[in-house]
């Protein structure tokens, strides 16, 4: 995640707000003064204040007493500068695009509030970009958290929150309570540890995948609740070793895992729901391959895990099926499980 300096407290938006508040206060105090001194109505008093501080000079609403002239002089001396400053700040606010930015931010916040079962990607560096790209291609809703403004997020129309993912408010803004998963993939191991801690504290059911650069960090992330930990260096090294030893096999998997290819293969976990057609049936009875096109390559149940299960195995509620197939094939398995959707999915 990129580091950016903390914006100064006296930002343009804050200064514009303060200048506007001072101008409104001046108008109110001035109107109260004319009402008390001259006994005018609120409309006449406010009108007199406005033509005085804006130096329009249409003339007095009604003849002024000596005290009224002194009060008008006070407003001219102190008010013209306040109003001029407020007008200058308002013009600068619009010209520098902050007004547009506020409107865009509000629209983005509204979009994020409507999301559920989405994935939060913390950090938009090289790893974060790929994670967000793959999740989006898989049809998942994604919210990116990045510390600094990232033009690519704006241009790509990707939902995002500007801030530190270590802070609770930032994760709240990203919808951590409604999220299906979170990927902590900033460049700092320390930040990934704090992000994982904060995310699990706010929502202990969210599925957290964290990046670790050092072996010691892997252990710490697992201890604090990360569901999966990935080391880019060990993963890339392992892949390179397999490419060196089994290039044809790796080429085969890469061909079928290309998300742009119509033959792209996915591996998904499907939970067997109580009362569904899957519960209490055998794989042979269900004939999933014929009905959905997907192939069951593994089962994880109370008795343990089994790879390439026997067709006679009986499925029990609560078991997890490991299913492989194209996105179309894997999408049909919910019909057998009363609309149950896989919680996690991965491409090979």
Q: How far is it, in rounded angstroms, from Cα 41 to Cα 22?
A: 23
Same domain, 122 and 202: yes
- Residue where a domain terminates, one of 197, 216, 235: 235
Q: How far is it, in rounded angstroms, from Cα 96 to Cα 84?
A: 18
Contact yes or no for 195/186 (Cβ under 8 A)? yes
Task: Give, in order, the Cα–Cα distances in Å from 85 to each of 15, 46, 47, 56, 93.
Answer: 10, 20, 20, 17, 12
* Per-residue confidence band for 341, with pLDDT thresholds at 50, 70 and 90: very low
Give this prediction's pTM: 0.60
Q: How far apart are the first and last CA of the chain?
A: 27
Residue 168 lies in a domain: yes
Among residues of the chain, what percentage have pLDDT more than 70?
82
Q: How far is it, in rounded angstroms, from Cα 211 to Cα 121?
A: 11
Q: How far is it, in rounded angstroms, from Cα 280 to Cα 316?
A: 6
Q: How far is it, in rounded angstroms, from Cα 254 to Cα 237?
A: 16
Same domain, 221 and 286: no
Residue 83 lies in a domain: yes
Residue 46 lies in a domain: yes
Residue 121 lies in a domain: yes
Same domain, 207 and 287: no
Contact yes or no for 204/225 (Cβ under 8 A)? yes
The total number of structural domains in the chain stands at 3
62: Cβ–Cβ under 8 A, 6 or more apart, which residues?
38, 40, 44
CATH assignment at residue 209: 3.40.50.720
Tell me the average pLDDT of the chain: 81
Whether pLDDT at 48 is above 70: yes
pLDDT at 336 (0 to 100): 53
Same domain, 274 and 228: no
Nearest to 26 by CA among 107, 100, 106, 80: 80
Whether pLDDT at 328 is above 80: no
Same domain, 291 and 181: no
307: Cβ–Cβ under 8 A, 6 or more apart, which residues?
297, 298
Residue 173 lies in a domain: yes
Same domain, 211 and 171: yes
Same domain, 91 and 132: no
Q: Which residue has the higher pLDDT, 227 or 68?
A: 227
Six-digit token pair at 226?
């990360």
CATH assignment at residue 54: 1.10.287.70
Residue 45 lies in a domain: yes
Same domain, 133 and 80: no
Q: 246-280: buried (b, 16+ CB within 10 Å) or exposed (e) per residue? A: eeeeeeeeeebbeeeeeebbbbbebbbbeebebbe
Residue 111 lies in a domain: no
Among residues of the chain, what percentage have pLDDT more than 90?
29
Average confidence (pLDDT) over 71-83: 83
Same domain, 283 and 339: yes
121: Cβ–Cβ under 8 A, 6 or more apart, which residues?
128, 131, 132, 135, 142, 143, 144, 145, 182, 183, 185
Residue 320 lies in a domain: yes
Average confidence (pLDDT) over 85-97: 73
Q: pLDDT digits over 103-158, tens only?
A: 778 888 899 999 999 999 999 999 999 999 989 988 899 999 998 877 788 778 88
Same domain, 122 and 230: yes
Q: What is the DSSP string of 23-85?
A: HHHHHHHHHHHHHHHH---HHHHHHHHHHHHTT-----SS---HHHHHHHHHHHHHHHHHHHH
Q: Which residue has the higher pLDDT, 95 or 78?
A: 78
Same domain, 151 and 223: yes
Residues forming a β-bridge with 265: 326
Same domain, 125 and 219: yes
**Residues found in the chain:** 348
Strands (DSSP E) found in 177-318: 181-184, 207-211, 228-230, 265-271, 295-301, 304-307
pLDDT at 174 (0 to 100): 95
Q: pLDDT digits over 245-281, tens only?
A: 888 877 776 666 665 555 567 777 788 888 777 888 8
Q: How far is it, in rounded angstroms, from Cα 158 to Cα 199?
A: 21
Average confidence (pLDDT) over 145-173: 88
The domain of 168 spans: 116-235
Six-digit token pair at 305?
């895990």
Six-digit token pair at 275?
């009362």
Q: Looking up tokens 């398995």, which residue turns up?
A: 333
* Per-residue confidence band for 4, with pLDDT thresholds at 50, 70 and 90: very low
């Amino acid at each position: 995640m990129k580091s950016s300096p903390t914006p100064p407290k006296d930002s343009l938006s804050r200064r514009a707000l303060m200048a506007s508040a001072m101008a409104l206060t001046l108008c109110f105090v001035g109107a109260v003064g004319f009402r008390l001194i001259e006994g005018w109505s609120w409309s006449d008093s406010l009108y007199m204040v406005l033509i005085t501080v804006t130096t329009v000079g249409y003339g007095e609403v009604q003849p002024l007493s000596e005290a009224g002239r002194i009060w008008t002089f006070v407003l001219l001396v102190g008010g013209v500068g306040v109003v001029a400053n407020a007008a200058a700040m308002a013009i600068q606010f619009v010209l520098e695009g902050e007004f547009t930015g506020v409107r865009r931010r509000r629209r983005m916040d509204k979009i994020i509030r409507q999301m559920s079962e989405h994935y939060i990607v913390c950090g938009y560096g090289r790893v974060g970009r790929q994670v967000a790209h793959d999740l989006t291609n898989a049809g998942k809703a994604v919210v990116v958290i990045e510390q600094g403004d990232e033009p690519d997020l704006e241009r790509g129309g990707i939902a995002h929150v500007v801030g530190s993912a270590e802070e609770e408010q930032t994760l709240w803004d990203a919808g951590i309570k409604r999220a299906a998963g979170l990927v902590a993939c900033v460049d700092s191991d320390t930040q990934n540890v704090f992000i994982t801690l904060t995310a699990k504290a706010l929502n202990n059911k969210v599925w957290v995948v964290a990046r670790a650069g050092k072996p010691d960090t892997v252990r710490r992330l697992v201890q604090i609740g990360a569901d999966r930990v990935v080391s880019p260096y060990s993963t890339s090294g392992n892949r390179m070793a397999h490419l060196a030893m089994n290039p044809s096999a790796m080429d085969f998997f890469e061909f079928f895992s290309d998300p742009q290819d119509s033959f792209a293969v996915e591996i998904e976990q499907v939970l067997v729901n109580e009362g569904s057609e899957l519960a209490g049936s055998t794989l042979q009875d269900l004939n999933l391959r014929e009905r959905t096109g997907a192939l069951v390559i593994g089962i994880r149940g109370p008795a343990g895990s089994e790879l390439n299960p026997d067709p006679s195995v009986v499925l029990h509620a609560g078991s997890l099926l490991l299913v492989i197939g194209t996105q179309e094939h894997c999408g049909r398995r919910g019909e057998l499980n009363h609309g149950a959707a896989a919680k996690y999915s991965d491409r090979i």
